[in-house]
Amino acid sequence: MNTGPIDDHLVERVDATLADYLARRRELTEAIHPVVDDAAATLAGFVKGGKRVRPTFAWWGWRGAGGDPGGQRAEAVLTAISPLELVQANALIHDDLMDASATRRGRPTVHVDFAGRHREHGWLGDPERFGAAAAILLGDLALAWADDMFDSAALPERALRRARPVWAGMRTEMIGGQFLDVWGQATGNGSAEAALRVNRFKTAAYTVERPLELGAALAGAGPELVAAYRRFGSDIGIAFQLRDDLLGVLGDPAVTGKPAGDDLREGKRTVLMALAGQAARERRNQTAAATLERALGDPELDESGVARVREVLHELGTPEELERRIERLTDSALAALDAVELTPPSDTRLPELARAAARRLS
């Protein structure tokens, strides 16, 4: 078994790689103006910490395809996969703005933070518009720096040529999935099929599927392994989002960092709510259907309203159905890996990651 120092300290190494890169990029923002550098510092703080799920899947995708953690390319691969965290930062900052979320990880969201700075200093104009503009620009900066960091990886050109289409596809899918999400909320498309499509492109693709494929491309993997990774990644990525659906209504705010019921207040037409609505209609339970419909998109929904939705969901058996779906997706993903040969220890690490992603607490 070929192991290296990065394997057992991957999160710390991703943290250090990101911190070093962002410090160097802030030399540019500092030269523009102190307020721009202050905004860049906010982005750096936003990126700090976390489980580094996306780079972790990319790393073990690379390792499973034969990547040598002790070889000369290991550091360059680390540089190529760490900016996945900046892609996520872009998605979260913009998502919080579009959903009008007040908190993220127990702290004010970026647009709320900058609106507060506007009010505190008594600046001209509308604080909320300023906060929205700041969030849009910082999200854009995160994505621009993600591209810059990926392109800076000191890898052979042939490896980057293999990886660039994966990187480009991932960005388009993520933004397309986000657009489907806001379109679905605007049109009231509450079907489970529509919600699953959003899950597939908004979250699953850039969380597991594309990071795994990125690692495979950097290692020069063949089509059979890439196909197995994509099936595994799609299934686990969707399971990951279904777990998020459950946490959005049933989760503990002390663990999730977001107020309970935020998904309801924001009108998110998740798979959880789609299945619950379908079950209520099939059972002709008009009371349950009306409770769900009233709660979805109600910005004033209080704790008692959220508690009532939880009761209805359990009456309809929807959380249990989602748990069964998560279990089936996890089994399907693991079967995809069983069909191919992976370089150890990826053959044990990837299944472990799959189970952790499917049952995550936050």
pLDDT at 344 over 50: yes
pLDDT band for position 4 (cuts 50, 70, 90): low
pTM for the full model?
0.93
Closest-CA residue to 248 (of 184, 210, 203, 281): 203
pLDDT, average across residues 76-80? 98
Residues contacting residue 88 through CB under 8 Å, at least 6 positions apart: 54, 206
Tell me how far apart the alpha carbons of residues 63 and 328 are, in angstroms, rounded to a whole number: 26
pLDDT, average across residues 2-23? 90
Tell me how far apart the alpha carbons of residues 77 and 54 are, in angstroms, rounded to a whole number: 13
pLDDT tens string 284-319: 999 999 999 999 989 999 999 999 999 999 999 999
pLDDT tens string 321-340: 999 999 999 999 999 999 99
Lowest mean pLDDT among 12-16, 107-111, 184-188: 184-188
pLDDT at 352 over 70: yes
What's the mean pLDDT when you consider all of the chain?
94
Closest-CA residue to 244 (of 357, 104, 92): 357
Burial of 8 (0-12, 13-18, 19+ CB in 10 A): exposed
In the structure, how many helices (H) and strands (E) does the chain have? 18, 2
pLDDT at 3 over 70: no
Sign of CA dihedral 241, 22, 118, 186: negative
pLDDT on residue 219: 97
Domains contained in the chain, CATH given:
7-358 (1.10.600.10)
pLDDT, average across residues 202-207? 92
pLDDT tens string 211-257: 999 999 999 999 999 999 999 999 999 999 999 999 989 988 776 76
Percent of the chain with pLDDT over 70: 97
pLDDT, average across residues 57-65? 98
pLDDT tens string 152-183: 999 999 999 999 999 999 999 999 999 999 99
pLDDT at 198 over 60: yes
Residue of 361 and 9 predicted with greater confidence: 9
pLDDT, average across residues 25-45? 97
pLDDT on residue 1: 46
pLDDT, average across residues 25-49? 96
142 with 87: CB under 8 angstroms? yes
pLDDT, average across residues 130-154? 98
| 3-class secondary structure per residue, 327-346 | HHHHHHHHHHHHCCCCCCCH
SS3 call for 299: coil
75 with 158: CB under 8 angstroms? no
pLDDT band for position 362 (cuts 50, 70, 90): very low
